[in-house]
Structure formats: C-alpha cells, structure tokens
A = this chain, B = another copy of it.
Amino acid sequence: MNTDQLIRITRYYRSLNRLKTIGLEKVFANNLADAAGVSAAIVRKDFSQLSIYGQKRGGYQIADLLLSLGELLGKGDSQNCIIIGCGRIGKALMHYKGFEPDGIRIVAGFDSDPVVYNDTSHPVPLYPISRLDEVIRNLDVSVAIISVPEQAASDSYERVLKAGIMGVLNFSPITLKPILQEDGTLPIVHNINIALELEQIFYELKFPKNR
C-alpha cells in the first residue's frame, strides 16, 4: 500500500464510521468516492487490490468494510503519542478531543521551561525535556508531536529519535526529514506546515486554474 492509497483508506475508514453512526448498513463505491474526494473507479480498484469484495449490485457492507480496513490500518493496537513543546499549539493538541474516536492518546508533554512544565492544569502530565528518555521508557509510546519554535525543531527531532521514537508529526515550519538510524530503520516523519498551506491557498486564489 502506497502513501496516496493509505490516505484514501484512512478517509474511507473515517467516513464509514460516520455512516455507521448514522445508521447505514450498506455503502456504494460512489459514496466513498465522494467522501474521499476521488472517483468511484479508484475506490473499487483500491478494494480490489486489497482483496476486499462487495456484492454485485448490493454495494459493500459497512461493518465488513470497517473490519477489513481496520485490520489493514492496524486498529486495535495502542496509539500513544507525546508532545514536545507545550506552547500554545502543543497545549491545544493536548486538549483536542478529536483523537479519542480514532484511538489516539496523548500520554505526556515535554517542555524546557519550568513555568510551563510545572503547570498542572492540563489533561496529561508534563515533564522537563531532560526527562524524556526516562519517562518514555515507562510508556508505550512510538510517536512524538513536535510543536516547538522553529529554532528548536531539529534539536527536538534528534532528541526524540535518540530516545527511540520512530514516528514524528512536525508542526514547525522546518521540514524534518527521515534520518537513517543506527539500527538500520528509517523513522516516519510527517510535516504540517501551516504557513505553507496558506501560501498555497493565496496562490491558487491569485492564479486560478483555467479549466
């Protein structure tokens, strides 16, 4: 499964969950196509490749699909994260309610500023960044969210890698790249660059596609 397909699958999964809570039982390739913003042919091809089959004419059973896709996506395993950098963005993420339904949990935050990490008014425990390795050892965590200022980003990145974290979601405007580790593994890094997204929007508004 490649990255584009993975994005689509997670989108399908999301939408299916919603449809299920609404009370639907069956879904057509077309519905999922709409939800994921792709064509129906792609949906069918995706499923076909993943050996997921529906009923001719009847579409797909939502419950079955959720099961199959859930297995593919590794649902059921623990999905714990820590947050590096508890500034405004970091704190916002700690309080974010949207992770729960996906089985994602924030289990700790780290910051270099004592004023920040001594503040107990947050839903997860905060620690000084110096205790990173120690705290991680006692938690089942594989992913870190980096929400530190630009200057601290690559330093934070190296630290979490050294601590054994293998997945990183980076909110700083520096694009962090996977660095081959000593043990031969390659960390997974996703960069979210908010300013870049806005720039793209402004661009597309200024120079609309002509079609």
Contact = CB atoms under 8 A, between A and B. Distances in A.
Contacts of A14: 173, 196
Contact of A175 (B11, B194, B195, B202): B11
Contacts of A196: 7, 10-11, 14
A206 to B, nearest CB: 4
A24 interface: no
A14 B198 CA distance: 13
Contacts of A149: 97
B143 A205 contact: yes
Place the interface of chain A in its size category. Answer: 35 or more
B73 A203 contact: yes
Nearest to A205: B167
Copy count, this protein chain: 2
Interface string A71-106: 001100101010000011101110111110010100
A66 B132 CA distance: 40
A190 interface: yes
A199 B91 contact: no
A64 to B, nearest CB: 20
A95 to B, nearest CB: 5
A1 interface: yes
Interface in A1-47: 1, 3, 6-7, 10-11, 14, 35-37
Contacts of A87: 92
A7 B200 contact: yes
B205 A188 contact: yes
A67 interface: no
A150 interface: yes
Interface string A164-190: 001111000101010000000110101
Closest 7 CB pairs of A and B: A88-B92, A74-B206, A167-B201, A188-B204, A89-B92, A92-B92, A102-B195
